[in-house]
Amino acid sequence: MSGSGPEAPQPSEAAEARLQEAEQDWAAAKAFYDNLVTKKPRPPKPQNAITVAVSSRALFDLVEERRIYQEQGVEKYVEYQQNNENVTLKPGPAFYFVKALEHVNARLLELYPDDEERFDIVLMTNNHAQVGVRLINSINHYGLTIERFCMTGGQSPIGYLTAYLTNLYLSADSEKVQEAIEAGIASATMFTANKDVSYSDTQLRVAFDGDAVIFSDESEQIVKEQGLDRFFEHEQLNENKPLAQGPLKGFLEDLGKIQKKFYAKNERLNCPIRTYLVTARSAASSGARVLKTLRSWGLEIDEALFLAGAPKGPILVKIRPHIFFDDQMFHIEGAQKLGTIAAHVPYGVAQKYNKSS
């Protein structure tokens, strides 16, 4: 029988052939979907996007559903969600922030129709898949562009954040947020405002605390452990030494990259993103180091407000941010009372002193 017909391919050759066939299949599938005509923008590739993962309880108001889950168990919870899957969920604390991100995306697509550097919203939830229909119906009702879901059926979704290349994670679950922070992912726990206020439809407004949010908590440690006078002395001595970065520095940097895309099109005065630093620091005593640190990073902040220990709530009422990040719960609670949607960043020495959870 030898010499009759071609030789059988070696195992390595067979594996290579299968790989080439798989690549051809992928290329054919990609070409098919690329040629589909649709008015809806496709999600950007994860490696090009700024990925913001939100939980279902951050995106929507699920207080009643949460009560059913806690009091009656998961089976009754799933049954309730299925029976009400055509009842639209009301907005949750992250809803208007997500809407503002999508407005920025729409503006970007007008200026850069082929560019994929824009925001990609991922619904990251431990909900069961059976609940997905209600979530999808509500997302479609509001016209949100959320194509990527991660529904983990009762398991923690935190392990998926890295796989989804997450730049920011927002949740109503403080334990999951703490877990994400410890994994090195920018994260915050969302809190609903106690008053209804209107938010800008044309400009995303993001307010940040400084220490333990944009910056590390190194200076805050001195305040807590050695007092204000030692803190002022330390900051003046180290004025020209940049602060180390904090957990939200990367997201501020992401916002800055998108802003520069608008500036490049002569849209600085009409930019749909505005950033704010709202800090308890005093300008004269400790403000220079903050501004010089931002400069050393090549980052711009649109407005810097040094409050010298005054409450942040009244200033935030004027700004009306879609989200305000702070590491201290008494600032979060003060902002909430006056109608600001606040996000707690559980990072740094202040967590030892927080009384609320």
Predicted confidence (pLDDT) per residue in 116-130, tens digit: 999 999 999 988 898
> Which H or E run includes 275?
strand 273-279
Quick one: pLDDT at residue 35?
65
pLDDT bracket for residue 285 (50, 70, 90): confident
> Does 4 score more than 60 pLDDT?
no
Order across the sheet with 166-171: list the strands.
148-151, 119-125, 50-54, 166-171, 187-191, 342-344, 323-326, 204-208, 273-279, 303-306
Of 171, 164, 165, nearest in space to 149 by CA: 164
Quick one: pLDDT at residue 38?
57
Radius of gyration of the chain (CA): 24
What phi and psi, each to the nearest 5 degrees, are found at residue 122? -120, 130
Which structural domains are found in the chain, ordered by start?
Answer: 46-190 (3.40.50), 204-351 (3.40.50)
> Does 226 score more than 80 pLDDT?
yes
> Which H or E run includes 185?
none
Predicted confidence (pLDDT) per residue in 160-208, tens digit: 999 999 999 999 999 999 999 999 999 999 999 888 888 999 999 999 9
Residues labelled as active-site residues: 209
Quick one: pLDDT at residue 1?
43
pTM of the predicted model, to two decimals? 0.86
- Unique residue bearing structure tokens 């849209």: 267
The residue count of the chain comes to 357
